[in-house]
Amino acid sequence: MTTSVRTRFAPSPTGPLHIGGVRTALYAYLFARKHGGEFLLRIEDTDRKRFVEGAEDYIVESLKWCGIQPDKPSARQSDDLAIYRREAERLVTEGNAYLAFDTPGELEAVRLEATAAGETFTYDHSTRMKLSNSLTLSADEVKNKVRSGDPCVVRLKVPAGQEIRFTDLVRQEVSVLSDRVDDKVLLKSDGMPTYHLAHVIDDHLSGITHVIRGEEWLPSAPAHVLLYRFLGWEDQMPEFAHLPLILKPDGKGKLSKRDGDRMGFPVFPIRWKDPQTSEKFEGFREAGYYPESFINMLALLGWNPGTDQEVFTMEELIGAFSVNHIHKAPARFDPDKARWFNAQWLQRRPDHDLAERLGATLEKKYGMDSFTPEFILGCVRLLKPRVQFEYEMPVTGSYLFEHPVHFDDKVLDKKWKAGFQPFFESLVGAFNKTETFNASSLEEVFRATAESHELKPGKVLQLLRVLVTGESGGVDLFPMLELFGKEKTLKRLANGLAYVSAKFVDHG
């Protein structure tokens, strides 16, 4: 029987999803899709202390925005707690786990003792016999403690001196001596399972074939392998793939939730409002990113396709994805590259689509019918190659929509010469006479007029732009004049010339 691939994303609802979490979801999704399998979402909500209101909805909405669609309704661990308790009891009965009654005070004391001796305390096979647990207490003592309701946890009984081996799809063979694995808590004193116990049971019961998760779980993986063994499921154990960390842009440490704020880029997919502090964090969505570019950027943060291709649709990512090309080394988040991806995706957007949204923005700002649909479409074509985000179009291209009132005096002061006024007056006349008011004839007319005034066209080209738009730079000049049309171009030129003659009144 061949088992079809089934992966999952298993976030804890302890706050907003950071881009590292979204990347984990994305890789698990791509891997499942690539192999014609299923991708599931499981909310790991057994840590009540860290539970954050609204986080689950946030996770679901973020994945939806990214286009990462789970194949089944999401599962919630808190929906079936009995199962974890039952399996924990089985582990205890079979001698693979034990009850530990240590009070926080006792644990603190052994920790301090270890620190004083220059060591780090770990609750393991070498220390557990000095502590208050069912391995050191008599059966009657344990019974009495349980009967009188003394708080206790269930711990994994890690055997001494064994080699624990497993294959990680990113790191290949991993081998750890069990002496270095601590007796992890499986069931807490409130009866809730820890991540270690709950996820192993859930992954097994839901038939997960590949556990794709962050590298921070690699050190715990040997304990998970032991759990599969003790629960009798080792032959069906999923394969592991631990994903590399995502670092800050300067490479100094892990990208944290606070970095975005500090460095002026988002680290969350969509807006997050902290329910406790009401603090708001903008996401990539609010910063103007397309979900396509966000996903594209994330996919390449820790994986490469093995080719030079950088721009991928989700379908293309599914086709190209392979765990063999997941990097072992940490990935560095690069905000410039993220913007570059958005620009790539903006270039791929149909012009009429962009024009529709630009039109809506212009309408809000300048009123209904201030510009014709053809004019707006023309602006989109000119602006598109010069921006990275849609919201930049009406801003960087404002000179297309507003008659200039300010002119770039720096350029005028530097470049304007006394003899230019007659040239521009001739140009107005020549433009006026131009029948086919298109970019190439306008450029020709401009050159011919400059030559007839014995001027190098390069001397007056930027000045023409300043007169018409007020700005020293911008979209392609002659196509822009074509878009304005004769009437608007001549009006703008006259307006610019009036400004210049007032400014240089003493030039003679």
Site residues (CB under 6 A) for ligand GLU?
A: 10-12, 44, 195, 199, 211, 213, 217
Burial of 82 from C-beta contacts in 10 A (0-12 / 13-18 / 19+): exposed
Compute how many other C-beta atoms are within 10 angstroms of the C-beta atom of residue 391.
14
Q: What is the DSSP letter of 485?
A: H
d(CA 39, CA 32) in angstroms, rounded, equals: 6
End-to-end CA distance of the chain: 94
d(CA 12, CA 387) in angstroms, rounded, equals: 37
- By beta-carbon proximity to ligand GLU, the closer residue of 128 and 199 is 199
- By beta-carbon proximity to ligand GLU, the closer residue of 182 and 215 is 215
Q: How far is the CB of 24 from ligand GLU (least distance, A)?
A: 7
Q: Exactly one of 257, 337, 384, 486 is catalytic; name it.
A: 257
Q: How far is the CB of 8 from ligand GLU (least distance, A)?
A: 7
What tokens does 135 get?
């391995």
Per the CB < 8 A criterion, the answer to whether 502 and 410 are in contact is no
Q: How far is the CB of 44 from ligand GLU (least distance, A)?
A: 4
Which residue is closest to ligand GLU by CB?
213
d(CA 335, CA 315) in angstroms, rounded, equals: 24
Place of tokens 């809730």: 192
User: How large is the C-alpha radius of gyration of the chain?
Assistant: 33
Helix (H) or strand (E) holding 333: none
Per the CB < 8 A criterion, the answer to whether 192 and 198 are in contact is no
Residues facing 133 on adjacent strands: 100
- By beta-carbon proximity to ligand GLU, the closer residue of 15 and 359 is 15
Q: How far is the CB of 199 from ligand GLU (least distance, A)?
A: 5
d(CA 208, CA 42) in angstroms, rounded, equals: 11
- By beta-carbon proximity to ligand GLU, the closer residue of 196 and 285 is 196
Q: What is the DSSP letter of 168?
A: E
Q: How far is the CB of 11 from ligand GLU (least distance, A)?
A: 5
Residue 273 annotated to the active site: no
- By beta-carbon proximity to ligand GLU, the closer residue of 44 and 87 is 44
Q: How far is the CB of 345 from ligand GLU (least distance, A)?
A: 29
Cα–Cα nearest to 240, from 212, 199, 202: 212
d(CA 383, CA 474) in angstroms, rounded, equals: 9
Residues facing 283 on adjacent strands: 268
- By beta-carbon proximity to ligand GLU, the closer residue of 44 and 471 is 44
Helix (H) or strand (E) holding 39: strand 38-43
What tokens does 258 get?
């606070």
- By beta-carbon proximity to ligand GLU, the closer residue of 66 and 362 is 66
Q: Where are the beta strands (DSSP E) in 185-245?
A: 185-187, 210-214, 239-243
Catalytic residues: 257
